[in-house]
Amino acid sequence: MLDIFNEIRDDLQAVEDELAKVVRHENPLLNETSSHLLNAGGKRLRPAFALLSGKFYNYQLKSVLPLAVALELIHMATLVHDDVVDSALTRRGKPTVKAKWGNRISMHTGDLLFAKSLLMISKYEDKPLVSKVLSKTSVKMCEGEIQQISSAYKSDQSIKDYLYRVQRKTALLIAASCQLGAVVCGAPREIYMRLRRYGYQIGIAFQVIDDILDMTADQVKLGKPIGGDLRQGIITLPVIFALKNSSNRELLVKLVEKRDKTEEEVRKAIELIRDCGGIKYSNNVVDRYINKAKKELENLPDIPAKRILVKIADFVKYRSF
Amino acid sequence: MLDIFNEIRDDLQAVEDELAKVVRHENPLLNETSSHLLNAGGKRLRPAFALLSGKFYNYQLKSVLPLAVALELIHMATLVHDDVVDSALTRRGKPTVKAKWGNRISMHTGDLLFAKSLLMISKYEDKPLVSKVLSKTSVKMCEGEIQQISSAYKSDQSIKDYLYRVQRKTALLIAASCQLGAVVCGAPREIYMRLRRYGYQIGIAFQVIDDILDMTADQVKLGKPIGGDLRQGIITLPVIFALKNSSNRELLVKLVEKRDKTEEEVRKAIELIRDCGGIKYSNNVVDRYINKAKKELENLPDIPAKRILVKIADFVKYRSF
């Protein structure tokens, strides 16, 4: 668990226990894949956002718990499915479900986790906004994934194209986590929409940082090989900036569009991107989103949860893995 | 459209139009995959069950339409995902999404269709049973798929194991179609539970027939190669019967458990299964379920929809593709 979550340690533990209960299964194979996923960890960022947002109005753990579990299940489901299609062999330094059990089991494990999230969500009969927001979010998340595939290895992309994908891949689920954490505690629209906007900005920043780290991080800390996005043809913000601003634009286009790049070609592409300021530019974009996120919090009551949300914003900015 | 659906022709057309609208998409690739799926047809059995069941109580098309569309979307999503994992190259005689566009697009197309079904379902805020039943059904459908993979090529299976899978693969979604068609029209529990039980029995019969046809049908009519289940190691009812009753049990065990069977081996296995009465036995099981299904209808009001449900039961029994 991240240190900044100390104040919600017990409630996050309750989420963890409930997650373990939900993924337990009579089919031994399924039990194994799901537990493997659970034990592979993760920051439990989405449950934490839901819990913290709930604190802004009549917080009760039992109101937020099914939501928090559902959010992590949705997130885990997308990770397993990403692994299927990306042929990724490790995630967070551990072998993926796909690497251990193959595509067929991975896909159905993802489907099952997603279906179980629906089971949790269906408990909120008196809060129809929960299923409305999460079903819309799920549709958009799928659209983002497909857009990412359609646009792979294409060097003529705009920042707008990038933001479209980042919004769908990451920001909308974090926005939903913040919004719905407040919604399930009965918060009024004014509060939950502010939290939603906070989550949205943080989500964009989080993904941009992720894309930066994919080129700059310590491979061991990151738990996966550097340059993975470039290898898969995913065009991220530093690349888009560099494709416009690099003095060696032609070579970069060639490298970016090339399939099955060698280690040397990946290294060279990253060098070109860094040298023309692609990383620095992207870090500035992160700053802007982090500041916008913090600004959304200004008009919310000054409770401990708010200070943690501010800290999370800073953590996102300075994280190195 | 099947002739027996003549009486609900207009409403089924409305479902078709709405489906086309729902799968239309701004991403051209996605538009193409979804439309391809839609145009590949299908009997629209689940929407038809929902519409017909709605007729037993205060029927209004607009009450059933989102449900009918959602049911078909869920069904289509499972078909696309089945194609991913089964490496199937044709379905209903047309190339599958997977064969045309590959695994990555197929998986996300399936995810998207499923997410869109949630969007439809979230319209029933005043009928929480809809999302409760469908989320439970989805969980069980995934369990069935995984159970099918875990038990592939295993010859020591009981009829109970088989029914567990058939229930999850097929019967529960048809049961839900019948139940919820009545639920969304406001029918009382007594009516919708009868319809649910009808759907459940029909669903089992439907899948057993499917499994029989996989060995006995005309390949052209079926739209896919004969013996597909045997090839994929899926142990169906005729096989289970034959594994107990064949005079050449040892050879059958060997053939069933063998991966990458030749055409000749598949043909031989089917011959052994047929010769010891595996097909006949399975047809008797179908009869029993069809009769149970019809029995459930007895205490329902004698409306035209009821006569169609009886006809569907007979159609399931005598269908040859």
Closest chain B CA to residue A116: B139
Residue type, A301: P
The residues pairing with A90 across neighbouring beta strands, listed in sequence order, are A95
Instruction: Write the DSSP string, A135-162.
Output: HHHHHHHHHHHHHHHHTTT-----HHHH
The answer to which of A1-10, A133-142, B110-119, B130-139 has the lowest mean pLDDT is A1-10
Instruction: Enumerate chain A positions whose Cβ falls within 8 A of a Cβ in B.
Output: 25, 27-30, 81, 84-85, 103-105, 107-109, 111-112, 114-116, 118-119, 121-122, 125, 128, 131-132, 134-136, 138-139, 141-143, 145-147, 149-150
Percentages (nearest 5) of helix, strand, coil residues in chain A: 75, 0, 25
Distance linking the first and last C-alpha atoms of chain A: 14
Whether B131 and A122 lie within 8 Å, measured CB to CB = yes
The predicted model gives A247-273 an average pLDDT of: 95
Number of compact structural domains in chain A: 1
pLDDT tens-digit series, residues A186-208: 999 999 999 999 999 999 999 99
Looking at residue B182, what is its pLDDT?
98
Contacts of A75 in chain B (CB under 8 A): none
What is the rounded distance in angstroms from the CA atom of residue A20 to the CA atom of residue B310? 45
A37: phi then psi, degrees, rounded to nearest 5:
-60, -45
| Inter-axis angle of helices A28-39 and A103-121, nearest 10 | 80
The ipTM is 0.89
Looking at residue B101, what is its pLDDT?
63
Residue B204, helix vs strand vs coil: helix
What is the rounded distance in angstroms from the CA atom of residue B64 to the CA atom of residue B44? 14
Q: What distance in Å separates residue B146's CA from the closest CA in chain A?
A: 6
Whether A131 and B108 lie within 8 Å, measured CB to CB = no
Name the strand (E) or helix (H) holding A179: helix A172-183
Q: What distance in Å separates residue A162's CA from the closest CA in chain B?
A: 15
* Furthest C-alpha separation in chain B: 59
Whether A147 and B27 lie within 8 Å, measured CB to CB = yes
Q: Structure tokens of A1?
A: 């668990």
Looking at residue A32, what is its pLDDT?
80
Contacts of A122 in chain B (CB under 8 A): 128, 131-132, 135
**DSSP assignment letter at A5:** G
- Average pLDDT of chain B? 90
Q: Where are the alpha helices (DSSP H) in chain B?
A: 9-23, 28-39, 45-54, 61-86, 97-101, 103-121, 128-150, 159-166, 172-183, 189-216, 219-222, 228-232, 237-245, 249-257, 263-275, 278-297, 304-318
Looking at residue A186, what is its pLDDT?
98
Q: Please report, for residues A199, B5, B60, B80, the alpha-carbon distance to residue B11 in angstroms, rounded to integers and kept in the order given.
A: 42, 10, 10, 25
What is the rounded distance in angstroms from the CA atom of residue B96 to the CA atom of residue B228? 15
pLDDT tens-digit series, residues B193-251: 999 999 999 999 999 999 999 999 887 777 777 899 999 899 999 999 999 999 999 99
User: Residues A319, A170, A130, A16: what is their CA dihedral angle, to the nearest 10 degrees?
Assistant: -40
pLDDT at A98 over 90: no
pLDDT at A281 over 80: yes
Q: Structure tokens of A199?
A: 């989550």
pLDDT at B150 over 70: yes
Mutate to test the interface with A, among B29, B108, B130, B168 (most CBs of A within 10 A): B108
The total of other beta-carbon atoms located within 10 Å of residue B255's CB is 21
pLDDT at B129 over 90: yes
Whether A104 and B85 lie within 8 Å, measured CB to CB = yes
User: Residues B89, A77, A109, B208: what is their CA dihedral angle, to the nearest 10 degrees?
Assistant: -60
* Residue at token pair 């566009």: B101
Looking at residue A89, what is its pLDDT?
44
Q: A with B: how many residue pairs have Cβ under 8 Å apart?
A: 122
Whether B132 and A142 lie within 8 Å, measured CB to CB = no
The answer to which of A162-166, B37-41, B293-297 has the lowest mean pLDDT is B37-41
- Assign A92 a pLDDT band (cuts: 50, 70, 90): low
Residue ranges making up the domain that contains B89: 3-318
Looking at residue B90, what is its pLDDT?
47
The closest alpha carbon to B134, from A118, A182, A188, belongs to A118
Whether A131 and B136 lie within 8 Å, measured CB to CB = no
Looking at residue A127, what is its pLDDT?
96
- Average pLDDT of chain A? 90
Looking at residue B140, what is its pLDDT?
95
* Radius of gyration of chain A measured on its C-alpha atoms: 20
The predicted model gives B57-77 an average pLDDT of: 97
The predicted model gives A47-57 an average pLDDT of: 98
Q: What percent of chain B has pLDDT over 90?
A: 74
Whether B143 and A119 lie within 8 Å, measured CB to CB = no
The answer to which of A146-160, B34-48, B59-73, B105-119 has the lowest mean pLDDT is B34-48
What is the rounded distance in angstroms from the CA atom of residue B233 to the CA atom of residue B269? 12
Looking at residue B214, what is its pLDDT?
94
Q: What distance in Å separates residue B13's CA from the closest CA in chain A?
A: 25
Please, what sign has the CA dihedral across residues B22, B26, B31, B35? positive
A47: CATH: 1.10.600.10
Predicted TM-score of the model (pTM) = 0.91
